[in-house]
């Protein structure tokens, strides 16, 4: 992990584009997920998210810090921290070969590291940027996933951002899908530039849905978490 962070710092001098945002979310997580849900349902999440693009690839990462009004449902803790770090190398650039065709704009060698207080995973695979009508951003990463809790598996991770409707509304989201679980988070955001004359401020909601294949664990057999959170997002 230290080597990856050092590499990110060295690449920062080559950054062609970068954006960072902070998010405040509040919602009722009253399902039966060990990871997401709380005893009385209410939870506040602070998210710091960053994306940078440079000549030979890009870097994406975020950190979530969640605070339950009571405690998490299946562990006696009031707070939880989770983060992901996802660098990719552009194969066209590093091989001096044009790999774009049809709707595929770029192809990447992709890596991802996931970590929380008790969980970590390393994901290795390929990624792509796609040209899809109606979207400013659309892509797909495909990984082999190695984790300290759970079996090795494959993961498909599409990500997307729609074009703005009337220059004010858009959807920004992703899906993580393995043979064991399914997670999607979709943000429905209104740009406050026109109504409030404030730059880079977005208000809306995030739909969170998680479903896990039944496992032989003591706390439950069928895991599902489904909630709509209110959110505020500010970017720079």
More confident residue, 111 or 218: 111
Cβ proximity of 51 and 60 under 8 Å: yes
Report the DSSP beta bridge partners of residue 26: 44, 230
Q: How many domains does the chain have?
A: 1
Q: Is the pLDDT of residue 10 over 70?
A: no
What is the domain extent for residue 33?
2-235
CATH code for position 74: 2.40.230.20
Instruction: Collect all residues with Cβ–Cβ distance below 8 Å to 213 and sequence separation of at least 6.
Output: 179, 180, 181
Cβ proximity of 193 and 171 under 8 Å: no
Tell me the pLDDT tens digit for each residue of 168-219: 999 999 999 999 999 999 999 999 998 888 999 999 999 999 999 876 655 5
Predicted structure pTM score: 0.88
Token digits of residue 102? 């049809």
Tell me the pLDDT tens digit for each residue of 49-88: 999 999 899 999 999 999 999 999 888 899 999 999 999 9
pLDDT band at 34 (very low <50, low <70, confident <90, very high): confident
């Amino acid at each position: 992990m230290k080597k990856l962070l050092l590499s990110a710092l060295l690449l920062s001098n080559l950054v062609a584009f970068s954006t960072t945002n902070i998010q405040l979310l509040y919602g009722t997580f009253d399902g039966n997920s060990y990871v997401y849900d709380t005893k009385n349902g209410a939870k506040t999440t602070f998210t710091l998210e960053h994306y940078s693009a440079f000549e030979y690839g890009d870097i994406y990462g975020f950190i979530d810090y969640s605070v339950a009004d009571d405690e998490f449902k299946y562990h006696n803790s009031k707070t939880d921290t989770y983060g992901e770090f996802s660098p990719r190398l552009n194969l066209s650039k590093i091989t001096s070969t044009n790999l774009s065709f049809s709707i595929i704009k770029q192809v990447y060698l992709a890596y991802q590291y996931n970590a929380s207080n008790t969980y970590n995973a390393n994901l290795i695979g390929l990624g792509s940027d796609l040209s899809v009508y109606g979207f400013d951003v659309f892509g797909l990463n495909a990984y082999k996933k190695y984790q300290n809790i759970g079996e090795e598996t494959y993961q498909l991770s599409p990500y997307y951002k729609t074009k703005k409707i009337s220059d004010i509304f858009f959807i920004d989201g992703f899906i993580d899908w393995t043979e064991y679980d399914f997670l999607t988070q979709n943000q429905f955001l209104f740009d406050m530039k026109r109504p409030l004359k404030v730059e880079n401020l977005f208000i809306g909601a995030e739909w969170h849905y998680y479903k896990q294949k039944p496992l032989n664990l003591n706390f439950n057999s069928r895991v599902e978490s489904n909630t709509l959170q209110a959110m505020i997002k500010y970017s720079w």
